[in-house]
Amino acid sequence: MPLSDIVIRKAKTSEKPYKLADERGLYLLVTATGKYWRLDYRFAGKRKTLALGIYPDVSLADARERREKARKQIANDIDPGTAKQELKRATLAAANNTFEDVARAWLQTKHNLLPSYSEKVLRALEIDVFPVIGRRPISEIKPPEVLAMLRRIEARGVLDLLKRIRQRCSDIFTYAIAVGLRETENPVTGLNKVLKVHKSIHRPALHVRELPLFFIRLDAARISLPVKQSIRLMMMLFLRPGELRGACWKEIDLENATWVVPAERDRSRGLVGMKMKEEHTVPLPQQAVEIFRELQNYSGHGDLVFPNRNDHSKPISDGTINSALRALGYANEEVSGHGFRATAASALAEMGYRREVIDAQLSHRERSEVLGAYTHQAKYLAERRQMMQAWADYLDAIKSGATVIPFGKAA
């Protein structure tokens, strides 16, 4: 006879456990400590018992519903006891795999990042992301939650930070999907369409007409000669600041006037390789060769061209060049180390050099794979060598105070 609520309520607890049977294997186990729902069933030829909850938290109707769910699992060749344990493990794993846990694990996989940059990324997450969704299981986070978090950043008007945080979160969710911590849905996907867009601001750069005064200030500045020469080389070779700061003597062939910047350097020492992750050949004009020969008197005994004065195993800091420019009297919005690339590119374009030649020297990634392959041919390198020597001569003429007439289109 099936159980009723009245029978269950009146059942007295007892030191000696006893059972009150319902139907289809369901029964109430009454003990001295309480009343427990149980289901007896057979699976793969073995008799098993499944716990379905405690009365009165689980009512008779609830217990019967759970029984029917278990019977359906059995009918589909699923052991309900095993399924229950797997669900417990998944729930526990989800609780332990919060967004913050996964974000920290993801960051540990980014071996190509400088330690200082990793700390910067983590700090941004700690300030703007972890307080909002950091304790949520990463498997449960939905797009509206991420959007609400990003809206808070957007409201502050820091759209460049908004873009970076959105990308970092997307990377973290992609990592979670890859390692099986959430289903194949990245909740960040598409959110850029409903958020304000950060408009890139070009880095401050000087025009060639401003270079005569710049050279006067540079010569008069009370900064170390290696730093002065690093600025001259940056103007002359227009590498990115990190690429130049990490220069190693073994990369530079003064006899053949060539510097091969590797795709990667030892980031644990703060050495940055090429941004495009491809080896880059820099033809050295004679003036650059002379500067490097002079620098050998200062750092030729070590492996770095521009060693940090406090730790010779590391290069000068990323703020050294910009700090030197501030010492010359230039504000942040007037010029930066990176801006010399724009100065050279604009001037060389006006002088008639082909854009693909200039872009190759700037180490811009070509949009066309065919053109990208062409830039590595010897003829292309010869054009760049001629252009670099002409550019160095042009800078020398400006520095000497000569009347400079932009040279025409290269042959």
Which residues, in sequence order, are CB contacts of 146 under 8 Å at separation 6+?
133, 169, 187, 188, 191
Rounded-to-integer distance, Cα 232 and Cα 19, Å: 91
Q: CA 239, CA 355: separation in Å to the nearest integer?
A: 17
CA gap 355, 400 in Å, rounded: 28
Question: Residue 183 burial (CB < 10 Å; 0-12/13-18/19+)?
Answer: exposed
Partners of 282 in the beta sheet? 259
Instruction: Look up residue 187 and give its amino acid.
Output: P
Rg (CA), the chain: 34
Instruction: Point out the residues that are catalytic.
Output: 240, 275, 338, 341, 364, 374
CA angle at residue 248 from 254 to 214, to 5 degrees? 75
Give the E-state strand segments of 195-312 in sequence order. 252-253, 258-261, 280-283
Are 271 and 115 spatial neighbours (Cβ–Cβ below 8 Å)? no
Q: Which residues contact 235 (CB under 8 A, 6 or more apart)?
A: 340, 343, 344, 395
β-strands 280-283, 252-253 pairing: unpaired
The DSSP bridge pattern shows strands 46-55 and 26-30 to be unpaired
* List of residues 6+ apart from 352 with CB closer than 8 A: 407, 408, 409, 410
Q: Do the Cβ atoms of 50 and 84 come closer than 8 Å?
A: yes
Question: What residue type is assigned to position 273 of the chain?
Answer: G
For residue 37, list its beta bridge partners.
28, 53
For residue 386 the two structure tokens come to 């001629």
Phi, psi at 220, each rounded to 5°: -85, -15
Q: What is the DSSP string of 390-409?
A: HHHHHHHHHHHT--------
Which DSSP state fits 368? S
Strand arrangement, sheet containing 46-55:
18-21, 26-30, 35-43, 46-55
